Amino acid sequence: MTTATPAGTDAPILITGATGKQGGATARRLLAEGRKVRALVRDPAAPGAAELAAAGAQLVRGDFDDPASLPPALDGAAAVFGVPPVAFGPAGPQTELEVARGKALIDAAARAGVEQIVFSTVASTSAPPRRAQGKTLIEEYLRDHVALPTVLRPVRFMTNYLGIGVGIDGISPDGVHRHLFPPHEPMQIIALEDIAEFAALAFADPARFAGRTLELAGDEPTPVEAAAAIGAATGLPIRYEQLTDDETARLGPEIAETAAHWQAGHRWHADIEALRTIHPGLRTLADWLADSGAAAIRAHVTAA
């Protein structure tokens, strides 16, 4: 059995999903503070992987569906940032496959002597939707098999205003943001950079965050308020429209299930003020827009 060096030393932190949103943000955050980062990638030649390597990350080839590829990636690692790779089939979420992937990483880390894993899953509600079942099972397995587990549960990303490619979210060329949410009800959102900040805090102080589950959000404007803020920051006329039931149904069973779940009154419940005590720099929507969001949205909308 290999032995990982304790977190807080010069050993690397393994980042899974490193070419994705959360993994990429976390890799960049850790590199910025001088931590060594080892990025698990399926294709080291992919543009996102090349960018990480240029930023200073060590690339290691690996795939959750090939458990034999994971031990070399974990050899000597101080800790792991993991994002359970979701799986979808024609009938919807493939929970068993998602759980198998999460367990493969956790088992490989445990065998390698890695004591700390920070897993980012999904924000919870009063009744978990079907698509969250896999993540719930992975969280339980993590707590049972790792000495220093931390779970981050982020809500909707602020970068979703740039579009997520499923016929929902984003802002159309005519300035319309369309989604499931009631227009005048608070809607929690989080900056990707803040997910990375909480991960970095956990890696800096493993004992403080061991066993903790943090529901993450940084702001909660109504969709109408968010549209107004985006319009003011970008100089573009932005408005919000709630999708109708028929429009939602046409987007597929997963979106329809999410809409029904929301209509039944289930909501995210991150305690933003408590989070700000842990991370005083927690970004509001206005902060994110001023930093990079407004420019990115303006470029996205005008190029569409």
Helices (H), the chain: 21-32, 47-55, 70-74, 95-111, 133-145, 192-204, 206-209, 223-234, 245-250, 253-263, 272-278, 285-288, 294-303
How far is the C-alpha of 156 from the C-alpha of 187, rounded, in Å? 9
For residue 92, what pLDDT is reported? 66
Least Cα distance to 67 among 99, 95, 96, 101 occurs for: 101
| Model confidence, pTM | 0.93
For residue 108, what pLDDT is reported? 97
Average pLDDT over residues 157-172: 87
Beta bridge partners of 92: 89
The 10s digit of each residue's pLDDT in 244-288 is 999 999 988 888 888 998 999 999 999 999 999 999 999 999 999
For residue 105, what pLDDT is reported? 96
**What percentage of the chain exceeds 70 in pLDDT?**
93
Average pLDDT over residues 62-71: 94
**Whether the Cβ atoms of residue 36 and residue 12 lie closer than 8 Å to each other:** yes
Listed in sequence order, the residues at least 6 apart from 78 whose beta carbon sits closer than 8 Å to its beta carbon are 4, 5, 6, 7, 8, 9, 11, 12, 13, 114, 116, 203
For residue 7, what pLDDT is reported? 44
Indicate if the pLDDT at residue 167 is higher than 90: no
For residue 123, what pLDDT is reported? 95
The single residue listed with the structure tokens 């995210």 is 268
Query: 119 by DSSP, 3-state: which?
Result: strand
Task: Could you please state the CATH topology (level 3) that the domain comprising 13-157+191-217+269-282 is classified under.
Answer: Rossmann fold (3.40.50)
Assign 111 a pLDDT band (cuts: 50, 70, 90).
very high
**Whether the Cβ atoms of residue 221 and residue 229 lie closer than 8 Å to each other:** yes
Q: Which helix (H) or strand (E) holds 152?
A: strand 148-154
The 10s digit of each residue's pLDDT in 198-229 is 999 999 999 999 999 999 999 999 999 999 99
**Whether the Cβ atoms of residue 74 and residue 104 lie closer than 8 Å to each other:** no
Cα 30 to Cα 18, 68, 131, 290, distances in angstroms: 12, 27, 30, 23
Assign 5 a pLDDT band (cuts: 50, 70, 90).
very low
For residue 9, what pLDDT is reported? 61
Lowest mean pLDDT among 33-42, 111-120, 126-135: 126-135
Q: Which helix (H) or strand (E) holds 58?
A: strand 58-61
Q: Where are the domains of the chain?
A: 13-157+191-217+269-282
Assign 175 a pLDDT band (cuts: 50, 70, 90).
very high
| Average pLDDT of the chain to the nearest whole number | 92
For residue 131, what pLDDT is reported? 67
Q: Can you give the C-alpha Rg of the chain in angstroms?
A: 19
Beta bridge partners of 179: 242
Indicate if the pLDDT at residue 2 is higher than 50: no
For residue 106, what pLDDT is reported? 97
**Whether the Cβ atoms of residue 73 and residue 60 lie closer than 8 Å to each other:** yes
Q: Directed axis angle between helix 294-303 and helix 223-234, to 10°?
A: 80
How far is the C-alpha of 216 from the C-alpha of 132, rounded, in Å? 16
